[in-house]
Structure 1
Amino acid sequence: MHPIEQFQQLDNRRRFLRRSAMGLGSTAAASLLAQVQAGTADARTHFPAKAKRVIFLFMAGAPSQLDLFDEKPDLHRQFNKPLPASVSNGQRVTAMTKGKEQIVAPSMFTFAPRGQSGMRMSELLPHLGGVADDLCIIKSLNTDAINHDPAKTLFCTGSQIPGKASLGAWLSYGLGRMNQNLPDFVVLNSAFWTGGTGNVQALYSRLWGSGFLPSKHQGVSFQPSGDPVLFLSNPAGVTRESRQKMLHLVTKLNQQHLAEAGDPEIQTTIAQQEMAFRMQASVPELTDLSGEPEHILDMYGPEATKSGSFARNCLLARRMVERDVRFVQLFHRGWDHHVGLPKKIRGQAYDVDQPAAALIKDLKQRGLLDETLIVFGGEFGRTTYGQGQLQRDNYGRDHHPRCFSVWLAGGGVKGGMTYGETDEYSYNIINNPVHIRDLNATILHQLGLDNTKLSFPFRGLDQRLTGVEEAHVVKDILT
């Protein structure tokens, strides 16, 4: 047989298989839809969900757990003393402190009991202290990565290796869309404290990408100025009616191509073009804060009306979950404090403390907190030993993956509690360790998904958010 004929025969087989798979998929989807409409299926969950949506507040750069959440009052006695070798135990360190003496730098900030639970929190977080009874602080989180790029990638996608699907993409893939006029997964990048311009890493779209999943599941990044989504507005001279006619024609051509080629990405293109058209009406309404009452704006703080601020993005996140956006991820940079930590962390805390607390209160008063899971944390923690000029009120901290703190609220998580414990130096975990993959498994669980069953075949492996290693749902923190 001529090579061209062999290729054509092979191509026809591929098309047949694609069409068969798509036909079976369409049949299954139609059956599922009928069940949902009849009330006999719980969307696509593996078991009843406690939460419907997630707001992930990602503090890029890694906040210091010692100065915010993990109080070590006796550490003041160790100021300017070497960290005992029995504590560090030969742990891997970054190139910035490799071979250097590890000198203890206690936090200069005071902690106090907050709420009925008496949870002790830093003076840097007075507003979050006011909602302490809604918070669950995990003090025993740990990760595998010691540098920012792989650590952020691991937290957001379950792997240090770029190219995997992000958490929001997995939820979109596993659960489907709740709002037909807005994306399943929205990303908001926040401006950070103006005094913290040094040592800030870039953010990259793979942190909210779809990886090997169909591209319709990737996060949609909203812009702080101009069109919230790029090219949202029609060009001059193009009306909404003419745009609709153009879309109708393009959709017909794409459907013809889909019938011929059987490529599922063509179906994604059709769906995304139709979504983009609907977003031209839904997104401007979503991002228009002019109807928000003054007392709500005041609750989120003085930065709430500033474009791109964390406060404004928290308010937008509340408006998004009201409209059934499945996953909203806010990135706030500037937390990489190797030197001058006390001054810089004050500014960072100012950015996030009041808005994050307001988000909790706002969702709660609207009856949305119970079904919305909020997660707050960065890619790893900071060391108990100092960097840079070492004084009681001026120090920096290096990267520390062995233990760090995050907090959760709402979505079926117990409030007013801490989980896990670290040693007197906040260097090692004493009990109840929680790996990043355990946290991700817990987030999936609260939305009704079993991390061992949520998979996608790619390169000969059933890919999972939690990878091939065992991941445990942290059931002790759940209601």
Structure 2
Amino acid sequence: MSDRRTINRRHFISTNATGLSGLALALWVQQQAVQANPKKPDLVQPTFDAVPKAPHRFGQAKAMISLWMQGGPSQVDLFDRKPELERLDGETFPGEVKYDNAAQASSKILASPWKWRRYGESGMELSELIPHMGSIADDITLIRSMRTGVNNHGQSIRAMNTGTTIAMQPALGSWFSYGLGSATNSLPSYLALIDPGQLPVDGIANWNNGYLPSVFQGTVIRPTEPRILNLTPPKRLAGKPQQQLLSYLERLNQQHLSKKPGERDYQARINMYQLAARMQTSAVEAMDLSQETSETKKHYGMDDPDTKDFGARCLIARRLIERGVRFVQVFTQNQFWDHHGRIRTSLPAACKKVDKPSAALVSDLKRRGMLGETIVHWGGEMGRLPVIQNDTGATNVGRDHNTNGFSMWVAGGGFKAGHVHGMTDEFSHQAVEQIVNHYDYHHTLMHLFGLDHQRLTFEHNGRSRKLIETDKSQLVTELIA
């Protein structure tokens, strides 16, 4: 055995000597070149701020408002009518179903109990529960083939909002703020308008900057006054005394920073102090709804207790975008659409709260000539299954999670209008045609903003990080006008 190895070794060396010597020579030449021209390390630390930045190429979209429906609105009952469900209502589902809550699961088909209607010139078919959204059918693209494939709230929220199921990664708004900056120096580039109820699943991580500099973190707008805390100075400090204090603080901060160059978080904190000072007037003005006409406030449903809160936040979102904010996210409360039970009463109540304000936002942006450059997104992290959960009586039934085929809509910013994209199977269970994964959606958003998903990167722990870190993403050209 050893003789064979010796012969093989000798044979290998004799037959490959030329190749090995050539390889050695090439490596030696490369080493000499490196030694002669060593690459100098970049000792200049980059600075990060929210000043306006040019996109990689022309992008029609300049801003975005995401109406985030946390919990999973039922596409089966709102956006994706299936006659087969109506025909087989109450019968056994003819296939395999993946449940999140197996203890309460059943395989009994549940058809939508609500009527459907076609809206607009596009003839888009929507539920009677969302008539106001029906009024903007010719302005939106309805995507009926969304998919994340991860069947719980936290992971699917992260997939839709950060591009990954890993916790504490940069949110979509943080990426757009990092890539494009803000069109105003008196307001943050990314704002989150939270619900009066509980924070959504994952809490403050929904507007987290992750490994991006903290200047790109979302700023929270509270649902009640004061909508941003600590903006109003004490009377004894208002005016000139405050200006003198801020000027002195600025000098101290800059002196300290000069001794600690490259401290990104420290630089971001200085920038935030400066921004907070400017926000004392600009933010208060931006959220002062007394400047709006009674007609506009009524248009958003602020005259109705059921729609007043969400309507006010949608109206504030429009005002923020008008003033140069890049990304605004309006959240519903924790599990607002998570109808595992009592869907016959809970779903109409949820629709009542958001239907009119959501449609009003789109129509108001259009009337003001802003919709062409502003993307509006409406949707959540998942949809619902076509079978009954909690089969303990007609009033108690609900639907379990479904992330393999759900619906959402987008409008403006270069998306098609009056368009329906994709299809689920005959039960609204699985997306089967023109599937849009979360990373395809992000790819398309970035394209409309003029951002190259491969070039928008951030160096972190020796890695070049991106919003889309899979090579599977595709630009969904069928969504683009």
Q: TM-score when scaled to structure 1? A: 0.87
Is the CA contact 1:105–1:392 (under 8 Å) kept in the aligned structure 2? Answer: no
- Secondary structure of the 1:62 match is coil
- Tell me by how many angstroms 1:275 deviates: 0.2
Asked if 1:363 corresponds to 2:365, the answer is yes
Is the CA contact 1:59–1:376 (under 8 Å) kept in the aligned structure 2? Answer: yes
Equivalent of 2:419 in 400, 413, 417: 417
Asked if 1:216 corresponds to 2:207, the answer is no
Report 1:72-151 matches (<5 A): 72-85=82-95, 88=96, 92-94=98-100, 96-97=101-102, 100-151=105-156
Is the CA contact 1:105–1:390 (under 8 Å) kept in the aligned structure 2? Answer: no
- Tell me by how many angstroms 1:351 deviates: 0.8
Equivalent of 1:67 in 46, 69, 77: 77
Is the CA contact 1:182–1:279 (under 8 Å) kept in the aligned structure 2? Answer: yes
| Counterpart-to-counterpart distance in 1, 2:232 and 2:42 | 35
- Tell me by how many angstroms 1:356 deviates: 0.8
- Tell me by how many angstroms 1:294 deviates: 1.4
| Counterpart-to-counterpart distance in 1, 2:99 and 2:105 | 10
Could you tell me which amino acid in structure 2 is paired with residue 170 of structure 1? W
- Tell me by how many angstroms 1:92 deviates: 3.8
CA deviations on 1:102-135 (whole Å, 9 max, x unpaired) are 1111110111110001010110111110110001
- Tell me by how many angstroms 1:298 deviates: 1.4
- Tell me by how many angstroms 1:468 deviates: 2.9
Aligned CA distance change for structure 1 residues 162 and 345 (closer, same or farther; 3 Å): same
Report 1:340-351 matches (<5 A): 340-351=342-353
- Tell me by how many angstroms 1:46 deviates: 1.3
My pick for the range that moved more, 448-457 or 231-240, is 231-240
| Counterpart-to-counterpart distance in 1, 2:281 and 2:166 | 38
Aligned CA distance change for structure 1 residues 225 and 55 (closer, same or farther; 3 Å): same
- Tell me by how many angstroms 1:374 deviates: 0.4
Report 1:183-222 matches (<5 A): 183-191=188-196, 202=201, 204-222=203-221
Aligned CA distance change for structure 1 residues 408 and 100 (closer, same or farther; 3 Å): closer
- Tell me by how many angstroms 1:100 deviates: 4.5
- Secondary structure of the 1:375 match is strand
Bigger Rg, structure 1 or 2: 2
Could you tell me which amino acid in structure 2 is paired with residue 433 of structure 1? I
Asked if 1:44 corresponds to 2:49, the answer is no
CA deviations on 1:394-434 (whole Å, 9 max, x unpaired) are 62000111110010001111111110001111011221110
| Counterpart-to-counterpart distance in 2, 1:44 and 1:292 | 32
Could you tell me which amino acid in structure 2 is paired with residue 168 of structure 1? G
Aligned CA distance change for structure 1 residues 138 and 288 (closer, same or farther; 3 Å): same
Is the CA contact 2:307–2:354 (under 8 Å) kept in the aligned structure 1? Answer: no
Could you tell me which amino acid in structure 2 is paired with residue 423 of structure 1? D
1:3 alignment partner in structure 2:
none
| Counterpart-to-counterpart distance in 2, 1:413 and 1:390 | 43
Aligned CA distance change for structure 1 residues 176 and 141 (closer, same or farther; 3 Å): same
Asked if 1:152 corresponds to 2:157, the answer is yes
Query: What is the number of residues matched between the two proteins?
Result: 438
| Counterpart-to-counterpart distance in 1, 2:388 and 2:395 | 12
- Tell me by how many angstroms 1:56 deviates: 0.3
| Counterpart-to-counterpart distance in 2, 1:58 and 1:390 | 31
| Counterpart-to-counterpart distance in 1, 2:328 and 2:408 | 17
Using the aligned pairs only, state the percent identity. Answer: 35
| Counterpart-to-counterpart distance in 2, 1:269 and 1:423 | 51
Is the CA contact 1:150–1:160 (under 8 Å) kept in the aligned structure 2? Answer: yes
* Structural RMSD (CA): 2.3
Asked if 1:256 corresponds to 2:255, the answer is yes
Report 1:282-301 matches (<5 A): 282-301=282-301
- Secondary structure of the 2:107 match is coil
- Tell me by how many angstroms 1:393 deviates: 6.8
1:324 alignment partner in structure 2:
324
Could you tell me which amino acid in structure 2 is paired with residue 320 of structure 1? L
1:21 alignment partner in structure 2:
45
- Secondary structure of the 1:186 match is strand
| Counterpart-to-counterpart distance in 1, 2:415 and 2:65 | 14
Is the CA contact 1:81–1:103 (under 8 Å) kept in the aligned structure 2? Answer: yes
2:5 alignment partner in structure 1:
none
| Counterpart-to-counterpart distance in 2, 1:477 and 1:177 | 26
2:63 alignment partner in structure 1:
53
My pick for the range that moved more, 160-169 or 381-390, is 381-390
| Counterpart-to-counterpart distance in 2, 1:285 and 1:45 | 29
Could you tell me which amino acid in structure 1 is paired with residue 245 of structure 2? M
2:16 alignment partner in structure 1:
none
- Tell me by how many angstroms 1:268 deviates: 1.2
| Counterpart-to-counterpart distance in 1, 2:386 and 2:307 | 36
Is the CA contact 2:301–2:308 (under 8 Å) kept in the aligned structure 1? Answer: no
My pick for the range that moved more, 359-368 or 149-158, is 149-158
Could you tell me which amino acid in structure 2 is paired with residue 127 of structure 1? H
2:175 alignment partner in structure 1:
170
1:397 alignment partner in structure 2:
399
- Secondary structure of the 1:290 match is helix
1:230 alignment partner in structure 2:
229
- Tell me by how many angstroms 1:306 deviates: 8.9
